[in-house]
Amino acid sequence: MKAVISNTPSLAPGLKAQGHGHRHTSGHEHDFEPVRGLPEDLPAGEKLLWQGSPDVRMLAIRAFHLRKIAIYFGLLLAYQAAWVMASGGGFKSVLMALAWPTGLALMGLGAVALLAYLSARTTVYTITNRRVVMRVGIVLTLAFNLPFSRITAAAVKPGRRGSGDISLLLDDRDHIAWLTLWPHARPWKVAKPQPTFRCIKDAGAVGQLLAGQWAQATGRPLIAAAVPDTAAVPAVQATHPTASATSQGRLMGQAAFTTR
């Protein structure tokens, strides 16, 4: 089985994503899905093991940077208030000067929060005993099918409130455009984008589940590998002829689950 992406010219021919427009009906907006989060019924012998979606609050903070944007707007408003007061304006003048900028700031923060909510609501991550599937997209739904045979490594990054990210490193033959994946991509990995489960609950346990299924599907044994200066999630590394250790907190060999 290969991972392929169609209907998206910026993607390499080795990957597959099936695109669907949202069907807004009186029922669920993804009524076209035979199985929630999947574009088609599971083949014989394939089992659904786990499904999850991003935590809305953590996605807004970590992927959409809502908190940083709020701080930025707050600093701008504080600067304007200080400037008005330094110019001799009183309390009433400060309120008048901040009225419309505050309204614009709230509208901007509301728009970002809404995007984060819609992104989390329309996203479903799936792990079966054969592959990973990522159903993403607010307006246009894409389902990325990523067989274990095309996944070479992964990294678990613990976050707050029990959430975390799981990033997947694909085979060198495969490439998905970073903008097509965002926000479901590992930050700053633009040249070689890594599909990522963003802000999911119990990321460590899900990472271990993925490691175990990857080992069963590929026939490569996994051994525990220590990750210095980290205590949140134990690392797992595959024994493979091409595997090689890298620096602390980075991906190690085939199907490595480490904190980054």
d(CA 215, CA 237) in angstroms, rounded, equals: 10
Taking residues 110-131, report their average pLDDT: 96
Q: How far is CA 253 from CA 16, 149, 153, 170, in A?
A: 24, 14, 7, 12
Give me the pLDDT at residue 173, please: 82
149 and 217 Cβ atoms separated by less than 8 Å: yes
Q: Whole-prediction pTM value?
A: 0.75
Range in 57-71, 88-102, 118-132 with the lowest mean pLDDT: 88-102
Domain edges within the chain: 16-54+123-238, 59-119
Contacts of 5 (CB under 8 A, 6+ apart): 11, 12, 15, 16, 17, 144, 176, 180
Range in 25-34, 193-202, 239-248 with the lowest mean pLDDT: 239-248
CATH of 16-54+123-238, one of 2.30.29.30, 2.30.110.10, 1.10.287.3510, 1.10.4160.10: 2.30.29.30
Report the percent of the chain where pLDDT is more than 90. 46
Per DSSP bridges, beta strands 235-238 and 48-52 are unpaired
| Higher local confidence (pLDDT), 61 or 232 | 61
Give the model's confidence band at 29: pLDDT under 50 very low, under 70 low, under 90 confident, else very high. Answer: low
Q: pLDDT by residue (tens digit) across 8-19? A: 333 333 455 555
d(CA 243, CA 17) in angstroms, rounded, equals: 29
Please confirm whether the linkage preceding 241 is cis (ω < 30° from 0).
no
Q: pLDDT by residue (tens digit) across 150-186? A: 898 888 988 877 789 999 999 888 888 898 899 999 9
d(CA 116, CA 108) in angstroms, rounded, equals: 13
